[in-house]
Amino acid sequence: MVLMAYLSYMLAELFYLSGILTVFFCGIVMSHYTWHNVTESSRVTTKHTFATLSFVAEIFIFLYVGMDALDIEKWRFVKGSPGTSVAASAMLMGLIMAGRAAFVFPLSFLTNLAKKSPTEKISIKQQVIIWWAGLMRGAVSMALAYNQFTRSGHTQLRENAIMITSTITVVLFSTVVFGLMTKPLIRLLLPHPKHTTNHILSDPSTPKSLSQPLLEEGQQDSYADLGGPTVPRPGSLRALLTTPTHTVHYYWRKFDDAFMRPVFGGRGFAPFVPGSPTERSVRGGQ
């Protein structure tokens, strides 16, 4: 699994494509096919390995941003014209906010047009939360700025230094201010989680739960022992594809069942692997 993810990233870099999106979709494909071809011990090992790597990478990102914020060379270039740097930072922040709004609100409006039930529609308050929480930018923006406006990490042009310091300012401001204000904004605009949870759990006919499918297996058992209703969790991406009947998902599911999963594996099509759920289901049937 590690080598396949790394191979997809290297191929993307070789063809000058986005390595981030490549790895993201590689994870989706592997969770749909590869995940069902390994043993239970391999799944546990893989899960904890990637969780550890993700935690280390996240720490490195914040260290990277923090160290770049103290790049004295770039700040020395712009100290003679602080007004220009502040104006550039404000303009970048405004463009980011406007660009995010140009995507979130129109797409949410189109999504609501396709929703029949009012409870499934994205309210304006939820749209504001999505817009606000998505404004935080980090190490990717920093890396792109350094790649575009420096050579080997150094620059001799004041204009390039202004762009880099403005990027640093936007990243720090959005991470600190927007990050700290996200939770209070959610409490202000959205109802209390207890009220929402009680409303959903009080209706046994509600097919969607905001909390139950997100629980781990042990937590779900404990929740059921406390008297909470038992809601089956979606086991894989297939659970998301069982509802549509006349959309593109329906035709993809037919193609997936007929050609993809018989070759690459998947739930119901994976070969017999000792220690896998396939083995447990066979023993249970016997």
- The ranges of the chain with pLDDT < 70 are 136-137, 153, 192-246, 268, 270-286
| Helices 124-133 + 82-114 axis angle, to 10 | 140
Q: What span, in angstroms and rounded, lies between the C-alpha atoms of 51 and 35?
A: 16
Question: Could you read off the pLDDT of 11-25 as tens digits, one per residue?
Answer: 999 999 988 899 999
**In contact, 67 and 60? CB cutoff 8 Å:** no
**In contact, 135 and 96? CB cutoff 8 Å:** yes
**In contact, 277 and 43? CB cutoff 8 Å:** no
pLDDT at 271: 61
> DSSP character for 260?
I
Q: What span, in angstroms and rounded, lies between the C-alpha atoms of 141 and 166?
A: 11
List Cα–Cα distances, 134 to 107, 127, 131, in angstroms.
14, 11, 5
Question: Could you read off the pLDDT of 254-279 as tens digits, one per residue?
Answer: 888 888 888 888 876 766 656 555 44
pLDDT at 204: 43
pTM passes above 0.85: no
Q: Taking Cα atoms as reference points, which of 108, 123, 106, 118 lies closest to residue 191?
A: 123
pLDDT at 197: 47
pLDDT at 139: 75
pLDDT at 51: 92
pLDDT at 274: 60
Q: What span, in angstroms and rounded, lies between the C-alpha atoms of 145 and 153?
A: 10
Q: What span, in angstroms and rounded, lies between the C-alpha atoms of 26 and 32?
A: 10
